[in-house]
């Protein structure tokens, strides 16, 4: 399999790989360094054997990244792509600043205006995607990364593996069931045609999470969580966790967690919501420092409750792993296929890449 119609050319490999940064169902991500410049990148590696019959997944990710990655400062960039005898490689911008939520938890303080500025950045980037007829389909805190560890680092939206480009505004619907259960919209779970509003539902869940440290539909089982999402059964409780959150913020969330996709705010409308407008003029979440004038609008520090909830909910890796397996079994049953055993999946082959095919 090749990425181009032309006969592959051979040239010396320009990158060397380092430590593993993460692993998923279909790919492994490693550090990569350009041999001549020494610049660090993230290298997403796909095993060719696993991708047989799924080539479109990688090609689609490349297509979308090429389309959008240079058009907005808060979208991760594709730098290069190539293949070897065993693997497919995507060279991506390396976000060294870590995940958003961990950065928040390591801060000395965190206020509602900080959350608003972060959400404004997400909405601005998603508005650009939607203007390009691209749906991300997997917006969640784990896919929000800081470019660097600096205080003024840009926040980046990463992982376009599930993103899709709509044919046009005249055909604005998809049907594939995908995403992360806690951030999936009702129409996806109900197997209904869907479009850009699924990203806005996810932003509503992210906003809720950024304000209190747990998701709006968190339940003890995947089945209960799915039923809660389908019914939009959420509340701003326990009250003590929401005491420092404004009614305007809650109204913003309500405008996104609407059962009817047509009633949800669009990304552009969200940018004009009073909750985001009142914390202007900053249009991007460039830092989490305290602005005294903005702090007066929402004086309570949200960090103590967020830290406590992250330990009992989002920080519980075992619980998240069990829920992921439950979700996989649930969708396998619905789709009538056997659940996939992660241990049976071939991961990318470790190789030194003396040469590559382009």
DSSP class of 168? B
Distance separating alpha carbons of residues 253 and 180, to the nearest angstrom? 19
Which candidate in 114, 138, 154, 199 is catalytic? 138
Point out which residues pair with 44 in neighbouring strands: 29, 90
User: Does 44 belong to an annotated binding site?
Assistant: yes
* DSSP string covering 169-220: TTB--B----S-GGG--HHHHTT--B-THHHHHHHHHHHHHHHHSS-TT--S
Distance separating alpha carbons of residues 228 and 222, to the nearest angstrom? 10
User: Count of alpha carbons within 13 Å of 228, Cβ hemisphere only?
Assistant: 18
Choose among 160, 163, 119: nearest CA to 143.
160
166 contacts 102 by C-beta, under 8 angstroms = no
Distance of alpha carbon 184 from its chain centroid, rounded? 12
Is 138 one of the catalytic residues?
Answer: yes
Helix axes 222-230, 317-335, angle to 10 degrees: 70
The 10 Å Cβ neighbour count of residue 86 is 16
> 266 vs 192, 238, 262, 320, CA distance in Å?
19, 29, 9, 30
* 3-class state of residue 272 by DSSP: coil
Distance separating alpha carbons of residues 185 and 259, to the nearest angstrom? 8
The annotation places the binding site for ATP at: 44
Q: Which amino acids are annotated catalytic?
A: 138
């Amino acid at each position: 399999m090749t990425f181009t119609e032309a006969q592959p050319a051979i040239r010396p490999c320009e990158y060397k790989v380092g430590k593993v940064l993460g692993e998923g169902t279909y790919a492994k991500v490693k550090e990569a360094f350009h041999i001549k410049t020494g610049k660090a990148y993230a290298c997403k590696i796909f095993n060719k054997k696993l991708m047989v019959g799924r080539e479109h997944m990688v090609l689609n990710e490349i297509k979308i990244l090429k389309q959008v990655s240079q058009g907005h400062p808060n979208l991760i960039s594709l730098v290069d792509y190539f293949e070897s005898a065993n693997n497919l490689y995507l060279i991506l911008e390396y976000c060294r600043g870590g995940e958003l939520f961990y950065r928040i938890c390591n801060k000395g303080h965190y206020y509602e205006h900080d959350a608003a500025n972060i959400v404004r950045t997400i909405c601005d980037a998603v508005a650009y995607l939607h203007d390009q007829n691209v749906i991300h389909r997997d917006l969640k805190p784990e896919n929000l990364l800081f470019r660097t560890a600096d205080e003024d680092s840009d926040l980046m939206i990463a992982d376009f593996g599930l993103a899709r480009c709509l044919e046009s505004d005249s055909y604005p619907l998809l049907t594939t069931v995908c995403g992360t259960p806690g951030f999936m919209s009702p129409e996806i779970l109900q197997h209904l045609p869907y479009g850009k509003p699924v990203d806005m539902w996810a932003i509503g869940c992210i906003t809720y999470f950024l304000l209190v440290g747990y998701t709006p539909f968190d339940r003890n089982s995947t089945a209960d969580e799915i039923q809660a999402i389908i019914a939009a059964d959420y509340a701003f409780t326990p009250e003590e966790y929401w005491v420092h959150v404004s009614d305007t913020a809650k109204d913003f969330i309500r405008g996104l967690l609407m059962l009817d996709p047509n009633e949800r705010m669009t990304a552009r409308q969200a940018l004009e919501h009073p909750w985001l407008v009142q914390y202007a003029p900053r249009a991007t979440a460039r830092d989490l420092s305290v602005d005294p004038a903005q702090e007066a609008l929402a004086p309570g520090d949200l960090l103590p409750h967020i830290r406590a909830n992250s330990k009992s909910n989002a920080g519980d890796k075992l619980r998240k792993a069990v829920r992921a397996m439950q979700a996989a079994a649930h969708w396998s049953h619905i789709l009538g296929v056997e659940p996939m055993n992660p241990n049976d999946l071939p991961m990318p082959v470790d190789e030194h890449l003396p040469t590559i095919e382009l």
